[in-house]
Amino acid sequence: MIHYSISTYEPSNGFVHIEMRFKAASNTPIVLQLPAWRPGRYELANYARNIKNFSIKNEQGIAIPYDKITKEKWALPSSMNVEITVSYEYYAQQPDAGNSFVNTQLCYINPVNCLLYVEGMQHLPCEIKLPMSASAQVACQLPFDGNSLHAENFDQLADSPFFISANLHHHSIQHGNCNIHFWAAGEVAMNWEQLKLDTIAYANIQEEIFGALPMKDFHFLYLFRADVFRHGVEHANSTVIAMGPGKSMIEPLAYNDLLAISSHELFHVWNIKRMRPVEMLPYDFTKENYSKMGYVYEGITTYYGDLTLVHAGVWSQETYLKSLSDDLKKHINNEGRFNYSLEDASFDTWVDGYVPGVPGRKVSIYTEGLVAALIADLYILQQSNGKYRLNQVLSDMYAQTYLKQKGYNKALYKQLLEKWSGQNMDWYFQDIIEGKGKMTAQLAAVLSWIGCEIETQLAENGQVDCCIKIKLDQTPEQLQLFKKWLNLSA
């Protein structure tokens, strides 16, 4: 067992005090590692910059000498059965969905930012003692015994952010065998009953693909901010979503955006937290985990996040087409699409995946990944006369990989696209996944099959405005396929 304890002596100064206690299991040197990145953000993080007053002591409180061997790795000599305590302060002042934040009202921790593990001991159960007050509540996917959270191993601990506060809003609704919890920190104006209904509606649609939510409790941890903000991070049985301004969440535009990000993160429950590319199985927290398949784990998730809202009837056809038009606008205005392939964009999230980058260099696994998913979906729909779509590919891949404790690769994805379309899909990989500059023409072609076109207009700022329009001469066959695409009643 690895024991952690978190305390907030002076939360107003922004630091939490962290202790880690364990017994050395062998006589070989002990190596301590702070994760170099966090799943969901495929770039190196440099969390070690937030650590100060680092010390390692034995049971008698005597300092043990150590060596720092990388920017987030420490080595110390071992003697069997000596209890070791590592302690440090961690600066927690980043209130987004993937970092940690403390003030006098809230203690919000992402363990992957700030907890170390012992190399070779990641499989051991972990206990994390929390700074509880009589009135505080804890929001977390891990079991809580009144004082501590319990994780089966470090991987699960690293995947389990939590809120502690006396001021959390908590709502829940039973959905099949899963109790869905909504926790909110920060000021918010929200129609909670509507949010519950809408969440159940899009969850139902996502479950049609992958099966019922595979957990007894799922937690939405909403961190509402006063400023304009939008960020979400997925976990196995929870998600953190940082949004703002919290007071706007009863306004249709802000509420629809909250639904969009929530639906995206719920889709990740299956598509990345369970079904995962083979090179990320398991995650390696010490270095980059390169994958060229971001178009599956982020692209398809971005596509289905919005699509399942219109399929559920939570969004209107107009709201969906407007949102899709906004995504296509980002695609069309990015010169990078002539210089960079989608799979290279996935590999290079570790280089510059989350910043604008140099002009015209690159594309996004989110935006271009969405376009790639849309092309695949409409292609299968058309080739199968409306019988199948990308849903079957995902469902099949989930059964063949996650349910058999395996990861997926490009060959399997291609094989399944060909199985459900009934066609050779070399063109798709050559042009859309590995190619440059060919996506826009393919997009226009698949949209024409449902009687739609992209209308473009030069805007005053020099950008091209984009709008997906239903063509005036849309045929009854095209209309039928269009309705299948958006799951609209006949």
- Residues forming contacts to Zn ion in the complex (CB under 5 A) are 298, 301
Q: How far is the CB of 259 from Zn ion (least distance, A)?
A: 15
Q: Of the candidates 4, 213, 283, 257, which has an alpha carbon nearest to the alpha carbon of residue 124? A: 4
User: Which residues, including other chains, have CB under 8 Å from residue 88's CB and lie 6 or more apart?
Assistant: 17, 18, 51, 52, 53, 54, 55
Distance CA 469, CA 467 (A): 6
Please, what sign has the CA dihedral across residues 175, 146, 156, 163? positive
Query: Residue 20 or residue 260: which is nearer to Zn ion going by CB?
Result: 260
Q: In what order do the strands lie in the sheet with 178-185?
A: 169-175, 178-185, 217-224, 238-244, 229-234
Give me the least distance between CB of 265 and Zn ion, in Å please. 7
Distance in Å, CB of 333 to Zn ion, minimum: 22
CB of 87 to Zn ion, least distance (A): 35
Q: How far is CA 241 from the centre of its chain?
A: 10
Of 110, 49, 97, nearest to 354 by C-alpha is 97
Q: Smallest distance from the beta carbon of 457 to Zn ion, in angstroms?
A: 30
| CA atoms of 301 and 46, how far apart (whole Å) | 27
Nearer Cβ to Zn ion (89/265): 265
d(CA 51, CA 92): 10
Nearer to Zn ion, 32 or 261 (CB): 261
**Cβ 301 to Zn ion shortest distance, Å:** 5
Residue 350 Cβ vs Zn ion, minimum distance, rounded to whole Å: 16
Residue number with CB closer to Zn ion (207 or 298): 298
d(C-alpha 382, C-alpha 447), whole Å: 10
Tokens of 96: 């987004």
CA distance 460 to 466: 13
Give the pair of three-digit tokens for residue 430: 């050559």
Our CB check for Zn ion shows the closer of 148 and 301 to be: 301
Contact 172, 180 (CB under 8 A): yes
CA distance 64 to 56: 6
Nearest distance, CB of residue 130 and Zn ion, angstroms: 28
CA–CA distance, 330 with 262 (Å, rounded to integer): 21
Q: Which is nearer to Zn ion, 144 or 350 (CB)?
A: 350
Give the nearer residue to Zn ion in terms of CB position, either 39 or 246: 39
Residue placing its CB nearer to Zn ion in the complex, 355 or 411: 355
